[in-house]
Amino acid sequence: MDEFRLCFVGGFVLTKERRRTKGACCLLDVLASRAAENRQLKVGDVVCPRHLQTSGELFRKGIYRHVSYQVEAIQVEEAEGSMTKLSLVPEGTDPANVFLHLRPATRILPRFERNWPVVVSIKEGCIVSFWDDILITSASYVQLSLCVVIAAFVLRNVFSIAYVPSESMVPTLNRGDAVLVQYLSSRIGNVGCRRDDIVFFSPPEELREYVRRVGNTELRTRDLFVKRIVGCPGDLVHIDARGSVEINGNRVGSRATSDGAEGTRAFAEQHMKLSDDEVFVLGDNPGRSVDSRFWGPLKMQNIVARPIVRLWNTLKHSVRVEELK
């Protein structure tokens, strides 16, 4: 029995006698080979070769893959080497010992004409019935469609492209940047708190209420915000009147730019300790960022995605791929 090694979705590589094909053999061709070994053929049947060779001896003979042929005669090689002519392939006969006399069932191009009929063993040409060939060929399209559906499902539920509409993360992310993000870590529960990570999150109710009150706007369910984690569960957070943030006594926000410098807004001085399921998030451009200083800590369950690479800027129409750190 042939042994198989999984190579790729829908493909296999034979590790024994078919290794000489030096490539991936579709599972359907393996099924065709099995069908060739088990199908009971008779004179007058229409058959199709499904051999893996695209040239060579079979091609020179006139055994072309997927061309339909009519069986004109059947011969079975006996143990002593003699040939017996039959009208039906006996059950249990070794396909290598069954030889078919074939003639094309339909007109073919003149350059492919041969001295018909040509003789080939069932096993050598991987001969299957006409309807088996139709079934296996149709199944290949079903297999391809299934792969497309699976790929679309993976892309839809694991990866996406997010658009940055504001300047809150300058210089790391600019307004108009398109970012490739992955949802996998959040959906398998592997959120974790890694300080200095950039995260995309769905707005908590406190942020929704702030936007309603200040901007007179209702956030949509699909809206995502992007910020950087600066405080993890158990950290002590202090916010002063200028909006500067200290985590465990250390000033954070060193990535901030001078654009919209801190101090232009008035903040209520706050002290808090983050609970086991909370993080504190800031924008890299705090003067233009509505972050945890305004609406409080972020629940880790609201984190839905993490960025992978920045792809392009939709405002500048310039294409680039950069790792986000």
Q: Which residues are designated catalytic? A: 168, 227
Phi, then psi, of 324 in degrees rounded to 5? -100, 125
Closest CA to 303 of 323, 281, 322: 281
Spatial CA neighbour of 244 closest among 287, 197, 278, 275:
287
Q: Is 108 helix (H, G, I), strand (E, B) or coil?
A: coil
What residues pair up with 159 in beta bridges, in sequence order? 182
CA 98 centroid distance within chain: 44
H-helix or E-strand containing 251?
strand 250-252
Residues 6+ apart with CB under 8 A from 24: 7, 8, 11, 12, 13
Task: Write out the two tokens for 316.
Answer: 């500048």
d(CA 239, CA 227): 17
- The rounded distance, in Å, linking the Cα atoms of 61 and 120 is 9
Give yes or no for a contact between 262 and 244, defined as CB atoms under 8 angstroms apart.
yes
